[in-house]
Amino acid sequence: MAHDHGHGTGGNLAMVGKLVVVAVLMFGFGFAMVPIYQKICEVTGINFLTRPDEQQVQAASLGKVDKSRLVTIEFDANSRGAWGFKPEIRSLTAHPGELVTVTYEIANNLPRKVSGQAIPSYAPQLAVKYFNKIECFCFAQQDFAPQEKRHFPVVFVIDPELPPDVHTITLSYTFFEIDGKKTLQELRG
């Protein structure tokens, strides 16, 4: 019987050893996922979609307007949660290089304080390289009092280097509730 007990302990130790190896491998996998998530953010544009860029500001201040063509910019708004969220206009036309301002309305329809974050996306996808936002509510988390409604400007310039076959760009925002104060890095995972 002592022999069986010893065999059982050996089996338990072997099982504990396997579990430790599995735990270490899972931790390593989770650690390895961080750069993969960062790469996904880079590829999808989330890393730079939600912050202004010095080059964008400089490009906007140069004022190289291409008066030979017009681009139609369409504005879209989606929300997750109890938000009222919409652009004040649905579309406009602008010359590449021209400074443009549009306004979005965001309303907290809840009887409590709420924080939210907007993430932009573009169609066609290649437009992300040519759509230079200088001011945007998406650059920071927005905090709302109960039932509060606010208007936010989005100031941007379409880069004159936009390929000539692109005649329409859709700027779409998704606005969603977030728990308390979180950094964009935390939101990205």
Q: Which alpha helices (DSSP H) does 45-98 contain, by range?
A: 46-49, 54-62
Q: Which alpha helices (DSSP H) does the chain contain, by range?
A: 2-44, 46-49, 54-62, 184-187
- 22: confidence class by pLDDT, cuts 50, 70, 90: very low
Q: Over pLDDT 90: what percentage of the chain?
A: 58
Total-model pTM: 0.65
Query: What is the reported pLDDT for 181?
Result: 53
Mapped onto helix, strand or coil, the DSSP state of residue 122 is strand
For 77-103, what is each residue's pLDDT tens digit? 999 888 999 999 999 999 999 999 999
Query: What is the reported pLDDT for 26?
Result: 46
Q: Which carries the bigger pLDDT value, residue 30 or residue 117?
A: 117
- 28: confidence class by pLDDT, cuts 50, 70, 90: very low
**Cα(141)–Cα(121) distance, rounded to whole angstroms?**
17
For 116-127, what is each residue's pLDDT tens digit? 999 999 999 999
For residue 116, the cross-strand partners are: 142, 177
User: Which CATH architecture group holds 46-179?
Assistant: Sandwich (2.60)
**64-70, long-range: CB within 8 Å, 24+ apart, which pairs?**
64/97, 64/160, 65/95, 65/96, 65/97, 65/98, 65/160, 66/95, 66/96, 66/97, 66/160, 67/95, 69/95, 69/96, 69/164, 70/94, 70/95
User: To which H or E segment does residue 121 belong?
Assistant: strand 114-123
**Cα(114)–Cα(167) distance, rounded to whole angstroms?**
38
Query: What is the reported pLDDT for 39?
Result: 43
For the beta carbon of residue 160, count every other beta carbon within 10 angstroms.
17
Residue 167 has pLDDT above 80, yes or no: yes
User: Are 71 and 94 within 8 A, CB to CB?
Assistant: yes
Instruction: Please compute the mean of the pLDDT values over residues 144-157 and round it to a whole number.
Output: 96
The most confident of the ranges 10-19, 105-114, 179-188 is 105-114
For residue 123, the cross-strand partners are: 170
Query: What is the reported pLDDT for 80?
Result: 86
User: Are 114 and 139 within 8 A, CB to CB?
Assistant: no
Query: What is the reported pLDDT for 122?
Result: 96
